[in-house]
Amino acid sequence: MLSPERLALPDYEYLAQRHVLTYMEDAVCQLLENREDISQYGIARFFTEYFNSVCQGTHILFREFSFIQATPHNRASFLRAFWRCFRTVGKNGDLLTMREYHCLLQLLCPDFPLELTQKAARIVLMDDAMDCLMSFSDFLFAFQIQFYYSEFLDNVAVIYQDLLSGKNPNTVIVPTSSSGQHYQRPALGEAGMLEGVEASLFYQCLENLCDRHKYSCPPPALVKEILSNVQKLTFYGFLVALSKHHGINQALGALPDKGDLMHDPAMDEELDRLLAQVPGLVNATSEASCLPSRTSSRVGSPWRPLHHSRKVDTESDGSTEETDESET
Amino acid sequence: MIPGKYRSVSGRAANNVNCGLHLVIQTSTLPEKNKTEFRFSRDTSPFPGRLLQHDLERNYSSRQGDGRVISPSPRNKSSFISSTTNVTELYGLDMKTTTSSFSAFGDCSIQTPFKSRLRQGCHSAGPNVSGDHINLVSSSLPSFPILQRSSEEKSLYSDRLTLERQKLTVCPIIDGEEHLRLLNFQHNFITRIQNISNLQSLIFLDLYDNQIEEISGLSTLRSLRVLLLGKNRIKKISNLENLKNLDVLDLHGNQITKIENVNHLCDLRVLNLARNFLSHVDNLHGLDSLTELNLRHNQITFVRDVDNLPCLQRLFLSFNNISSFDSVSCLADSTSLSDITFDGNPLAQESWYKHTVLQNMTQLRQLDMKRVTEEERRVASVVAKKEEEKKRESQKQSLLKEKKRLTINNVARNWDLQQRVSNNAINADRKDCASPPRDSCQLDGSTTSSLPAETGSLDSGLTSALQGLSVTDTHLVEIEGDTLSLYGSGALECLDRNWSLQTAGMVTTISFTFIEFDEIVQVFPKLKIKFPNSLHLKFKETNLVMLQQFNALAQLRRVDQLTVDPQGNPVVNFTLWKYYVLFRLSHFSMQKINGTEVTQNDMIMAERLFGILAHVASSELPQYRMISILGDARRKQFRYLLETKGKKPGIASEENNDSKRVMGENTNRATLNYTTKEWHNEKLEEIKEKKKFCQMYVEDLVKEATDINMKNEALQKLWPQMFIELVRDAVIEIRNKNTYMKVCLQQITDQK
């Protein structure tokens, strides 16, 4: 309530911009959906739980895609949920195809569109090798960029296209995501791969875009950092750089660093416990205990506050305990 | 050949009168031939039918048992006389009762002990015959002896001449015996038939046990009726063209490989080809009078043309190489055949032998020398009836199978079409896709190639109780043993039918082919009720594309085995699918997936890969969501969990665990369920409505709230100033105390 933007906007717009309205609407919607059940344990309790889960990022589990992509927080929550649930798949060392990753995504979000997965895969793979296998981390980071900055990237594609063809991109009316994709692919395949565009000019356009863009964008400083290293670059070169950039991942705050991607001690503990319950199991626990236990005090909480990615958080400790209780 | 030798033989014969031959070398012809008849009248002969049996085997056996047939002595090799015929019919000779001649001839044929006696008999029969009368002269032709009989001999046996065991190497020239009707050369060494062309009235010619290599020299003997050539070296049946009246032809014990040149013998009644080298029987047409055919001891593998023998009554095929009834199937078409032997053939070893033969040849009276009893016939007909039924059944089944194959083809085609349409739709939707799904063409190829294999496997399962239940064009339902197979989406409707408890209980395997998985999901509840024992599910061409689709299987009662054919189920290409199935369906403790045993390591792996997902799903899902996701069935229980949790968190957690174990399915997995696309879309549609309402509602609320807030803020902003103004006014008012008091007092009085 005290942030400076608060005063710059009328209340309603402010709430809308901060997606508070989205959550309020959704909460009411959920209430409506399950009113018999919820009325039994109290509407106040429901709202508490709802907003708690929003804070923890667990509200997106098994929700419809339209809701999952509705807010940056939801997107980040989804990314994090995906990482937490399927970290073990990556840890197992399996290389999977795009379609298989898509299936995993669909386990969390039944109507997750194939298109997004395909786009993410295209960042990792060449155009003609879409059936190839990808490692979990490659896919995850590419997917993060594609999913979180989806609209931004669509616009970047248009700008890139215009730069390639020599048009002044600033005159372009920024299209919405759906219209942007259609003419993106073919031309990129031909010329884009070979030469790319001038990095500095590209940056100017992107900066311009970030300014007017109402969706989330990567921090301009980091974009600048990426683009300042090279003279020319291609669209996919840019995307790859984005996906691999440590700072952007941190800024996004949904996933740990690449090096720590496989570490989630709390969940590992949980997994050990689950493995011990597998019927007729003998030596699973001993095997599981061989896993490298991190000395790091970072706790795999359902949600770490964004932008404080590397801090130990006492609150999250509490929440972990809570989940433990409910599970065991 | 060598005349000298011959002479010495004849010389010896002359010395030993008991040779039984009556060689009369005489030119005089005595008209008393009537006297010297060999005559077999029906009344005198103890064996009325057994007349000219030199080496009979068959007649004895057929009449008196099979002892001689099965182990025929060398002498018992050939038989050629029909048991029912009597001599009169056979020879048309006029006959007189002469006991001696009967015994002389009739007995000699039977057996060795009789033989000697017969010679005696012969001797005694012609007491006036002496060795002196036999005279072999080699005058005109140096190489051939000329035979002449004495006139007494001639008069005694005017139409009969026996040259048995004379060690003859050639046929002697027989002079002055043109009316001779019976000529016997048994047991000599004759290599060639010669010098008898003048004996044109010859009816009976016996050359048994010689060394003849070719049938020849008979072309003039037009009236010949009995030709005995047994135990020779003949390789080929030939030169019988003019012997149109031939009644009996004995060629047993030769080297004949083929039946030929007999088709003109329309009067032939007995043909003996035993102990030859025949490999098959064929070319029998024209033998219109043949009643008996002896083919024992050959290497015959098949018999044809027997149905062209209108009078054939007895056929002897013992000791050949016939192994199936099919190779002698023409026998079944013969209406006259009443007596047949098959013993000593591979065929006769078969269990089905007797009743098959009896069933196919109902006219049979004797089989392998044994009378066919009514009982046997009855058994055979019962067996045959059964077989017939079986055949009809199998025919029905094959018809059904063909129909089934066609239906499956049709279903496959429809499915293909449907897939292509949907694929095209997808492609159209995603024109920008860099890699359009190539599944469609792959699908085509695999579908067509799969079908033959499928039908092949069905053929092998013929014996199992196949029971086609409904065959229509677009779908197929079939129960085969314990497997219920459904082809095409229409087949799912069968689950609405009333299945008998027994049938339903028997079904343990259910296979789905060419059905959209989403459609199958919808019938799972029905499946659970109608087929409670189903343990094994098979999916083929069902469009299983996502892991989450397996969630739907969790609602079934029990699944022991799961088979997902890679055809039309792309999900099988995923490395994780098996583990996901194991994880999601862990409460079933599955035994086999796609035919592979599930090991403990698989279970661990599955848990390791997806355990966290379940944990997250159960522990981190907000309660309100949990309730909405879990079905009605689980709600109650979950409410209970909620209550306990609210009261005592510590204890509740334990109870929670207990109840979780009691439940078939882990709660943490229950949240992972599958909704079909249509249903999902419906739900989304529903939500959209609600959302719209919520949006409006919240918008109104928020607007109102912000409005109030704004007013409040405005008020807050104004309030201090207002207060100050109020105070100022008040202060100004009371600044002059006296005037103010006056005003006040005035007011009071005014009030009063």
pLDDT mean over B681-699 = 86
**pLDDT surpassing 70 at residue B463:** no
In this prediction, what percent of chain A has a pLDDT beyond 70?
Answer: 73
Residue A1 pLDDT more than 90? no
- A131 has a chain B CB within 8 A of its CB: yes
- Which tokens sit at B604? 């661990």
- Please report the pLDDT score of residue A225 as a whole number: 86
Residue in A11, A56, A284 nearest the CB of B709: A11
pLDDT, position B201? 86
Q: Could you report the per-residue pLDDT of A166-219, keeping only the tens digit for each?
A: 776 554 444 444 444 444 444 444 444 456 778 888 888 888 888 887 778 888
- Residue B297 above 90 pLDDT? yes
The dihedral formed by the CA atoms of B300, B305, B309 and B315, expressed in degrees to the nearest 10: 20
Put simply, the answer to whether B622 touches A50 (Cβ < 8 Å) is yes
Amino acid, res. B659: S
Closest Cα of chain B to A224: distance in Å? 30
Strand partners, B294: B272, B316
Cα torsion angle, B711, B716, B722, B726, sign: positive
The band of B467, judged by pLDDT with boundaries at 50, 70 and 90, is very low
**B15 falls in which pLDDT band (50, 70, 90)?**
very low
pLDDT in tens, B347-398: 888 888 888 888 888 888 888 888 888 888 888 888 878 888 888 888 888 8
* pLDDT at res. B98: 36
Name beta bridge partners: B271.
Answer: B249, B293
* H helical segments located in A232-308: 235-244, 246-252, 265-277, 284-289
* A33/B668 Cβ within 8 A: no
Highest mean predicted confidence (pLDDT) among B8-17, B140-149, B450-459, B502-511? B502-511
Edge-to-edge order in the sheet of strand B173-174: B135-137, B146-148, B173-174
Amino acid in the structure at residue B288: D
Among the listed ranges A107-116, A184-193, B326-335, which one has the minimum average pLDDT value?
Answer: A184-193
Interchain CB distance below 8 Å, B612 and A184: no
Mean pLDDT of B56-75: 39
Determine the average pLDDT of the residues in B149-178.
81
Is B635 part of the contact surface with chain A (CB cutoff 8 Å)?
Answer: yes
Give CA separation, B415 vs B409, B436, B470, B540, in Å: 10, 20, 19, 12
What is the rounded CA–CA span in Å between residue B227 and residue B211? 15
B634: pLDDT strictly greater than 60: no
- Residue A75 has what pLDDT? 93
Q: Which residues pair with B340 in a beta bridge?
A: B315, B367
Q: What is the average per-residue pLDDT within A90-117?
A: 88
pLDDT in tens, B482-540: 888 888 888 888 877 777 778 878 888 888 888 888 888 888 888 888 888 888 888 98
Residues of A in contact with B685 (CB under 8 A): none
Q: In what order do the strands lie in the sheet with B366-367?
A: B160-162, B182-184, B204-206, B226-228, B248-250, B270-272, B292-294, B314-316, B339-341, B366-367, B370-371
The percent of chain B in helix, strand and coil, each rounded to the nearest 5, is 45, 10, 40
Listed residue (B289, B342, B293) closest to B320, CA to CA = B342
Residue B454's pLDDT is what? Answer: 38
Question: Nearest-CA residue of chain A relative to B614?
Answer: A85
Give the pLDDT confidence score for residue B121 in this predicted structure: 36
Residues B84-113 as b/e (b if ≥16 CB within 10 A, e otherwise) read ebbbeebbebebeebebbbbbbbbbbbbee
| 8 A C-beta contact, residue B158 and residue B36 | yes
| Residue B99 neighbours by CB under 8 Å, 6+ apart | B44
Q: Find the closest chain B residue to A64 by CA distance.
A: B684
Q: Which two tokens stand for residue A112?
A: 């997750």
Task: Please tell me what DSSP assigns to residue A134.
Answer: B
Q: Cβ contacts (< 8 Å) between B603 and chain A: which residues?
A: 278-281
Position with higher pLDDT, B142 vs B104: B142
Q: Does A103 touch chain B (CB under 8 A)?
A: yes
- Hey, are the CB atoms on A58 and B706 less than 8 Å from each other? no
With CA atoms as reference, the chain A residue closest to B603 would be: A278
Q: Inform me whether the pLDDT recorded for B429 exceeds 80.
A: no
Range among B83-92, B135-144, B221-230 with highest mean pLDDT value: B221-230
- What pLDDT, on a 0 to 100 scale, did the predictor assign at position B677? 75
The residue of chain B nearest to residue A94, with distances taken between CA atoms, is B575
Q: pLDDT band for position A74 (50/70/90)? A: very high
Average pLDDT over residues A96-112: 89
pLDDT at residue B4 is higher than 90: no
Confidence at A6, pLDDT banded by 50, 70, 90:
low
The pLDDT of B577-583, averaged and rounded, is 87
Rounded Cα–Cα distance for residues B653 and B649 (Å)? 6
Query: What percent of chain B shows pLDDT beyond 90?
Result: 12
The arithmetic mean of pLDDT across residues B433-453, rounded, is 35
Q: How many Å apart are CA B560 and CA A238, to the nearest integer?
A: 51
B366, amino acid identity: Q
Q: Quote the CA–CA distance of B358 and B349 in Å, as a whole number.
A: 15
Q: What is the pLDDT of residues B202-235, one digit of tens each?
A: 889 999 999 999 888 888 888 889 999 999 999 9
Amino acid identity at B155? S
Flag whether residue A325 sits within 8 Å of chain B, measured between CB atoms. Answer: yes
Q: Would you state the pLDDT for residue A73?
A: 92
10 Å Cβ neighbour count for B546? Answer: 23
Q: Flag whether residue A17 sits within 8 Å of chain B, measured between CB atoms.
A: no
Q: Collect all residues of chain B within an 8 Å Cβ-Cβ radius of residue A84.
A: 612, 616
* pLDDT (tens digit per residue) in B185-197: 899 999 888 888 8
Tell me the one-letter amino acid at B381: S
CA distance B232 to B172: 18
The residues, any chain, with a CB within 8 Å of residue B614's CB and separated by 6 or more, are A274, B583, B666, B668, B669, B672
Residue A24 to residue B433, Cβ atoms within 8 A: no
CA distance B493 to chain A (A): 28
Assigned token pair, B579: 């583990």
pLDDT of residue B667: 59
Among B548, B616, B672, select the one facing A84 at the smallest CB separation. Answer: B616
- Dist CA A300 CA B543 (whole Å): 38
Residue of A nearest to B621 (CA): A58
Please give the pLDDT value at position B232: 93
Asked whether B525 and B553 are in contact (CB, 8 A), the reply is no
Q: Under a CB-based contact definition with an 8 Å cutoff, are residues B522 and B498 in contact?
A: no
Query: CB B396: neighbour CB atoms within 10 A?
Result: 11
pLDDT at residue B546 in the model: 84
- DSSP characters over A288-308: HHTSPPP-------S-PPTT-
Say yes or no: A58 contacts chain B, CB-CB below 8 A.
yes
The secondary structure of residue B598, as a DSSP letter, is P
- Quick one: pLDDT at residue B428? 55
> Cα–Cα distances in Å, from B325 out to B358, B368, B373?
11, 15, 21
**Which of A52, A274, A282 best tests the B interface by mutation, with the highest count of B CBs <10 A?**
A274
> What is the least distance, in Å, from the CA of A3 to any CA of chain B?
17
Query: Can you tell me the distance from the alpha carbon of B245 to that of B632, in angstroms, rounded to the nearest whole number?
Result: 102
pLDDT value of residue B412: 83
Which residues from chain A sit within 8 angstroms of residue B625, using beta carbons?
Answer: 30, 53, 59, 61-62
Query: How far apart are alpha carbons B194 and B198 in whole angstroms?
Result: 10
Tell me the DSSP string of B703-751.
HHHHHHHHHHHHHHHHHHHHHHHHHHHHHHHTSSHHHHHHHHHHHHHHH
Q: What is the mean pLDDT of chain B?
A: 72
Task: Give how far B449 is from chain A: nearest CA, Å.
Answer: 25
For B339, list phi and psi in degrees, rounded to 5: -145, 125
User: How high is the pLDDT of residue A308?
Assistant: 40
**Per-residue pLDDT at A322:** 38
A30-39, B260-269, B271-280: the lowest-pLDDT one: A30-39
How confident is the model at residue B749, as a pLDDT? 92
The CA distance from B750 to the nearest CA of chain A, in Å, is: 53
Contact yes or no for A62/B617 (Cβ under 8 A) = yes
Task: Report the amino acid identity of residue B73.
Answer: S
Beta carbons of A96 and B623 less than 8 Å apart: no
Contact of B645 with chain A, judged by CB distance below 8 Å, is answered with: yes
- Token look-up 């429809």 returns B414
DSSP conformation letters of B312-366: --EEE--SS----GGGGGGGGG-SS--EEE-TTSGGGGSTTHHHHHHHH-TT-SE
CA atoms of B123 and B18, how far apart (whole Å): 5
Partner A, chain B 660-699, Cβ-Cβ below 8 Å: 668, 671-672, 674-675, 680, 684, 687, 690-691, 693-695, 697-699
Give the position of tokens 């009662």.
Answer: B557
What pLDDT, in 10s, does the model give residues A259-271?
A: 888 888 888 888 8
Question: What is the pLDDT averaged over residues A75-79?
Answer: 93
- Chain A residue numbers with beta carbons less than 8 Å from the beta carbon of B614 are 274
In the stretch 163-202 of chain A, residues with CB closer than 8 A to chain B read: 181-182, 184-185, 189
Length of chain A: 328
pLDDT digits (tens, 9 = 90+) for A122-157: 888 877 777 888 888 889 999 999 999 998 898 888
Q: CB-based contacts of B478: which residues, under 8 Å, 6+ apart?
A: B404, B466, B467, B468, B469, B484, B485, B487
